[in-house]
Amino acid sequence: MHAKYEKRTYVGSEHVWVGKYRNLHNISHWHLEHEIITCYQGHSQVMINDRLFELNAGECAFCPSGSVHYINSEENAILLVCIFDEKLVLGITSANRLASPIFADKYNVVGRLSEMLETLSSRPPFFAESTEAQTILLVTDLFRGEPLSSADFKVSASTTRYKQLLNTIDRDYEFISFSDAAKFMNFSEAYFSSYFKHQSGMTFTQYLNIVKIEKAVGLLASEHNIKMTDVMSRCGFNTIRSFNRTFKEITGYSPKQIPTGYALNTRSVQTVQDTFNPTLNVSILL
């Protein structure tokens, strides 16, 4: 859900992850790894650092480490996504940047990522070394074959401030208002509304409500005898009616009917040490 830090975890000693998705949707997030996205079928939109790009079949995107990004795909779109430790290619990417993050798949990215996915799934001997070597070769080919620009790139002040706002929302969700958030960004309310929707893929109110309900789910799981009025007030709702309605809209359950062990599929994190999954439930991992 939240445009926060995603800490990538790996199954074994490898520092590469590959997934194949149908109808991939995730929310605005960033991570310390580089990410390569290639469209095998259909059409998707990719937002990278405030810029929205169209991604069609036969095209790829490269999201450098630290980029704020999200993906919205058509229902039939199939994407392959590779996320890998930036240290693997630091000698290439530390001083260079692709002039455009979108490029044609002249490098058989689909085939190479598919092969890496199979290797990571079957885990033959030396699978980690194999996939890391393939990743280095792929990035080498991309940076040799595509126009480059200097890597002296600074994230915009607005993006930096936006990241700070998300942390503030996660901490002060009980009290923060739309007006407070707009003032924090030094934007007019009209511009802030448009900016936030562009960055996160949802309105500020939708985002804040999901933060609040996530906190409510956590309270219900950890404090079994807690009163609903206490949950309501501690999560920033003024009435039981609005709390119950919003809770059911987001989780599909009433607060009293929430299943044991239920967790929102997307969640905020308190620190960069926590794990965060930005991918929404409508996405199908093939």
CATH number, domain containing residue 33: 2.60.120.280
- Give the count of alpha carbons within 13 A of 106, CB side only: 9
Looking at the fold, whether 102 and 230 belong to one and the same domain comes out as no
Looking at the fold, whether 33 and 58 belong to one and the same domain comes out as yes
User: Which CATH number is 225's domain given?
Assistant: 1.10.10.60
Q: Is residue 11 part of a domain?
A: no
State the pLDDT at residue 277: 66
Q: Is residue 273 part of a domain?
A: no
Q: Is residue 4 part of a domain?
A: no
Looking at the fold, whether 33 and 131 belong to one and the same domain comes out as yes
User: Which among 286, 36, 10, 12 is positioned nearest to 124, based on CA atoms?
Assistant: 12
Counted residue by residue, the chain has a size of: 286
Looking at the fold, whether 113 and 129 belong to one and the same domain comes out as yes
Instruction: Give the count of domains, the chain.
Output: 2
Looking at the fold, whether 34 and 147 belong to one and the same domain comes out as yes
Looking at the fold, whether 147 and 161 belong to one and the same domain comes out as no
Looking at the fold, whether 171 and 42 belong to one and the same domain comes out as no
Please report, for residues 53, 69, 93, 168, the alpha-carbon distance to residue 61 in angstroms, rounded to integers and kept in the order given: 9, 11, 15, 30
Q: Is residue 265 part of a domain?
A: no
Please report, for residues 1, 80, 234, 246, 281, the alpha-carbon distance to residue 29 in angstroms, rounded to integers and kept in the order given: 9, 18, 26, 24, 16
Give residues with Cβ within 8 angstroms of 74, minimum separation 6: 23, 42, 43, 44
Looking at the fold, whether 193 and 161 belong to one and the same domain comes out as yes
Contacts 24+ apart (CB under 8 A), 162-171: 162/3, 162/68, 162/195, 162/199, 163/3, 163/30, 163/68, 166/2, 166/3, 166/4, 167/4, 169/207, 169/208, 169/211, 170/2, 170/4, 170/211, 170/268, 170/269, 170/270
- What does 53-109 look like in DSSP terms, one character per residue? EEEETTEEEEE-TT--EEEEE-TT-EEEEEEE-GGGGHHHHSSEEESSSEEE--S-H
Looking at the fold, whether 140 and 56 belong to one and the same domain comes out as yes
Looking at the fold, whether 146 and 184 belong to one and the same domain comes out as no
| Average pLDDT for runs of 10 along the chain of length 286 | 53 83 84 90 91 94 88 92 92 91 96 96 93 97 92 66 84 93 95 85 85 89 91 94 91 88 50 51 75
Could you list the residue range(s) of the whole structural domain that residue 130 is in? 16-153+280-285
State the pLDDT at residue 240: 95
Q: Is residue 251 part of a domain?
A: yes
Looking at the fold, whether 86 and 195 belong to one and the same domain comes out as no
Looking at the fold, whether 105 and 70 belong to one and the same domain comes out as yes
Q: Is residue 55 part of a domain?
A: yes
Give residues with Cβ within 8 angstroms of 224, minimum separation 6: none
Q: Is residue 89 part of a domain?
A: yes
Q: Is residue 114 part of a domain?
A: yes
